[in-house]
């Protein structure tokens, strides 16, 4: 079996020491200790359960602990069909999460409404909350979900510590009417 280790950030090394920037060390720690909150409503949730099982073992990527409280999570995983009546609940869950927070839309329904082009189905969760990574598929295979999580980890690892205070981020929150 091939095991990969965390990529060592750039820095100075010598016998018995290693020095790097604080932002790179924090990015590495954040990327490998995400606490996901699964918001699963349909068949994509079943595929996520398979991803958490022993065949795929999402715990290998530092996601051992599922958080079912938004106040203790930093990754919101929205999976499945989201009804328009559920949109305010989803937005409330997102606003209750502490910063920094990331969102992954799993499956066609969460990403774009999927095959349900009806009056009651939200045509993509990006209508109510910002999304960082989209995972395609109906339903997506566990390998695709893992690939999406690896993309989130890359994003987290290289995100500047002050990005959340930037004017661009504040504009994004205003666009979604999130204070």
**What's the pLDDT at 27?**
87
**What's the pLDDT at 8?**
66
DSSP string computed for 107-140 = SHHHHH-TT--STTB-S-GGGTS--SEEE-SSSP
67-114 pLDDT, tens digit per residue, is 889 999 999 999 999 999 999 999 999 999 988 899 999 999 999 988
**Residue 95 phi, psi (nearest 5):** -70, -25
**What's the pLDDT at 154?**
93
CATH class for domain 35-158+168-175? alpha beta
**What's the pLDDT at 38?**
92
**What's the pLDDT at 17?**
66
Domain ranges of the chain: 35-158+168-175
Low-confidence ranges of the chain (pLDDT < 50): none
Report residue 146 as tokens: 């893992």
**What's the pLDDT at 60?**
83
């Amino acid at each position: 079996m091939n095991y990969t280790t965390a990529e060592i950030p750039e820095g100075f090394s010598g016998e018995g020491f290693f020095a790097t920037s604080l932002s790179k060390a924090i990015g590495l720690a954040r990327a490998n200790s995400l606490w996901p909150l699964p918001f699963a409503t349909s068949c994509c949730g079943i595929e996520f359960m398979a991803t958490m099982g022993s065949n795929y073992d999402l715990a290998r990527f530092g996601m051992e602990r599922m958080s079912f409280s938004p106040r203790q999570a930093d990754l919101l995983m929205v999976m499945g069909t989201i009804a328009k009546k559920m949109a305010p609940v989803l937005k409330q869950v997102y606003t209750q999460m502490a910063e920094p927070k990331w969102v992954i839309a799993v499956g066609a329904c969460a990403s774009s409404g999927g095959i349900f082009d009806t009056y009651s189905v939200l045509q993509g969760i990006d209508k109510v909350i910002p999304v960082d990574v989209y995972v395609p598929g109906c339903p997506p295979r566990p390998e695709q979900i893992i690939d999406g999580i690896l993309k989130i980890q890359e994003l987290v690892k290289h995100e500047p510590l002050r990005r959340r205070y930037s004017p661009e981020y504040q504009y994004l929150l205003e666009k979604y009417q999130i204070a």
